[in-house]
Amino acid sequence: MEVQVQRTTIISHSDPTAVSSEVPLSVFDRFTSNIHIVMLFAFVPPIASNESLIDGLKRTLVHFPALTAQLSDGREHSRRPCLVIGGEGGGALLLEAAVASNLLDHLPFEPSRHFKLLHPLTEEPEHLFQVQLNRFKCGGLVIAMTFHHQVADGQSMSTFFVAWGRAVRGLAIEKPPVFDRSLLKPRSPPKYEFPHRGFEFLPLCPNQDGLSLSERNINPSDIANIVLRYPLEYIAKLKAELNRKYTTFETLSAYLWRKITIARGLAEQEYATIRISVNGRRRLQPPLPDEFFGNVVLVALPGAKVKLLIEGGLSEAAQIVHEGIQKIDDHYFQSFIDFGAIHGDEELQPVYALEGNVLSPAVEADSWLGFEFHKVDFGGGGGRLCGFIPAWVPADGLVVFIPGLGEGGGVDVFVSLIGEHAKVLSQISHTMD
C-alpha cells in the first residue's frame, strides 16, 4: 500500500487567546488505559470532499473542547491529573494523504500491518485527537481516527463521529455532548464497599480472581490479527444451544472465550478469565445520558477453571459471563465513584499498567455493538461505510465485537492473538462443539 501524506494541519480550539481552564480527570478516566485508540472507517465513493470534511470537523470540535485540550499530570495545574482546555498549545492533528491504489483492492477490510500507514503515530503523540484522511485513487476514503483513551471512551467517540457527519451535511448536532462531571456524584458521605485498590488500581491483592501482574512480553511480530465474521443465522444457531436467553454479546463472548482457551491449549486446572468492558451510563441510577463525554467504563471479570469452561459447554460459559457482568451494577459503579471522591488526590495506577503484551490466560472483550459508528453519514452523494475496524494491535488476547456491514448484518469479531493460536482459532472458529 503506497500512502503519501500531502498536508498537515493543526486545528486549534475555538479561541486560543482565552484563559485556560482545568478539568480534573474523573476516577473513570484514570482507570482507563494511557494509550491512543485507533479506528479505521472506509467509505466507498462518492463521498464528501476533504474540504467539506475538514470544515465540518472544525465546526464539530468547537462542541468537543476535550479533544483539542492538553493532558496534564497534575503537577503544575492541580493535585489531580487534568485536561487543560484553552490557552496556548493543544489542538487536533489533521493529515491529508493520497493512496495510489483503489479502495476496492483492499476490501473486504481485513487487519493488516500496513494500517500504520493510514494513521498518525500513536507513540508519544503531541495531540490527544488525530485524524488522517486517506483518499484513494478511485475517490474512496479511509478515515483514521486516533484519540487518547483517558479523554473519551468508545461511546463518547461515537457521539462525536455522528456529530461530525451531521456537520458535514449542514445539520445541527442532534444530541449535543454532555460534559457535566457533577453527574458522577458521590454519596454523602462517600463510602465504598468493594476493594477498588486491588481490583481496578494497584496494589493488587495476591491471587485475587485470577488476576496477575506478572509481566509477559513477546515480539509484536509474533502477534496475528484476524477478523471472524458471524452472520445472524449462525448467531441464532448458537442461541438455540443455550438453556436460557442471553444477549448477542454474552453469547458470542462466551463462545469465543471457549474457542480461544482451546486454541491456546491451556491446562485443565488453569484459571481462565475474560475481562469485559461494562458501560455504566445506563447502569447508574439515575442513568447518565448516552451523550455523556468522557469515560464511564469498568471491567467485569468472569472466570473459571479451564476444565469447567470447556466441558460445561456454551451454556455454562454464557451463564458465567452473564453473572459476571451483572455484578458490575449501579451499586458497584457508585462505590467506584465514592472511592474516587475519597482517594482521588492520591496516586492511582490501573492494575494493567504493569502488564505486558500477553494476556493469556485472560481474554479482554470490548463491545462496539451498541455504538453508532456504522450510522455515520458524510453525504457527498451516497458514499456508504464499507469497512470499520481497529488498527493493528500488537498484543495477545484482545477481542472487539463490531457490527457486521455485510448484506447479512451479523457481527464481525476482531481478534488479536499469538500467531500459532490465531491459526488454530481460525480453524475452529465456526464449529458448534
Distance from the Cα of residue 428 to its chain's centroid: 26
User: Both 168 and 290 in a single domain?
Assistant: no
- How big is the chain, counted in residues? 433
Q: Tell me, what's the pLDDT at 352? A: 86
Task: For residues 171 and 224, state if they share a domain.
Answer: no
**DSSP per-residue string spanning 128-174:** SEEEEEEEETTS-EEEEEEEETTT--HHHHHHHHHHHHHHHTT---S
Give the DSSP letter of residue 1.
-
168 and 220 belong to one structural domain:
no
Distance between CA atoms of residues 164 and 159, nearest Å: 9
Return the number of other C-beta atoms located less than 10 Å from residue 102's C-beta. Answer: 14
39 shares its domain with 177 = yes
Task: List residues bridging with 275 in a β-sheet.
Answer: 364
Flag whether 310 is in a domain.
yes
> How many Cβ atoms are within 10 Å of 97's Cβ, its own excluded?
21
User: CA-to-CA distance for 35 and 249, rounded, in angstroms?
Assistant: 25
Task: Say yes or no: 177 and 305 in one domain.
Answer: no
Residue located via cell numbers 462466551: 254
54 found inside a domain: yes
Q: Is there a domain that residue 27 lies in?
A: yes
Residue 385 lies in a domain: no
pLDDT attached to residue 409: 84
**Which of these three, 157, 182, 207, is where a domain ends?**
182
Same domain, 34 and 177: yes
Is there a contact between 413 and 228 (Cβ–Cβ < 8 Å)? yes
User: In the sheet that 70-72 helps form, which strands lie side by side, from edge to edge?
Assistant: 21-24, 82-85, 70-72
Residue 198 within any structural domain of the chain: no
Task: List the catalytic residues.
Answer: 149, 377
Q: Are 356 and 144 in contact (CB under 8 A)?
A: no
Boundary residue ending a domain (164, 182, 200): 182
Q: Does residue 381 belong to any structural domain of this protein? A: no
Closest CA to 56 of 171, 177, 167, 159: 167
**Residue 313 maps to a domain:** yes
Identify residue 83 by its one-letter amino acid code: L
The C-alpha atoms of residue 164 and residue 18 are separated, in whole angstroms, by 24
pLDDT at 374: 76
* 174 and 224 in a common domain: no
Q: Could you list the pLDDT tens digit for every one of the 433 residues in the chain?
A: 899 999 999 998 766 666 788 899 999 999 999 999 999 999 999 999 999 999 999 999 999 999 999 998 765 545 689 999 887 888 999 999 999 999 999 888 889 999 999 999 999 899 999 999 999 999 999 999 999 999 999 999 999 999 999 999 999 998 899 999 999 999 999 999 999 998 999 874 544 544 455 678 999 999 999 999 999 999 999 999 999 999 999 999 999 999 999 999 999 999 999 999 999 999 999 999 999 999 999 999 999 999 999 999 999 999 999 999 999 999 999 999 999 999 999 889 998 887 889 999 999 999 999 998 877 889 877 778 888 999 999 999 999 999 998 777 899 999 999 999 999 999 999 998 7
Residue 410 lies in a domain: yes
Residue 391 vs residues 123, 286, 421: alpha-carbon distances, Å:
14, 35, 20
Does residue 125 share a domain with residue 249? no
Residue-level pLDDT at 120: 95
CATH classification of the domain holding 14: 3.30.559.10
Distance from the first to the final alpha carbon of the chain: 39
> Rounded to an integer, what distance in angstroms lies between the CA atom of residue 20 and that of residue 88?
8
95 and 37 together in one domain: yes
Provide the pLDDT for residue 89.
82
- Exposure string (b/e) for 327-362, b if CB count within 10 Å is 16 or more? ebeeebbbbbbbbbbebbeeebebbbeebebbbbbb
Residue of 61, 47, 53, 77 lying closest to 12 (CA atoms): 61
- Residue span of the structural domain in which 338 resides: 216-369+395-428
Judgement on whether residues 143 and 235 belong to the same structural domain of the protein = no
Exposed, middle or buried by CB within 10 Å (0-12, 13-18, 19+), for 169?
A: middle
List residues bridging with 292 in a β-sheet.
178
State whether 230 and 312 are in the same domain.
yes
Q: Which of 182, 201, 236 is the last residue of a domain?
A: 182
Asked if residue 255 and residue 350 are part of one domain, the reply reads yes
> What domain count does the chain have?
2
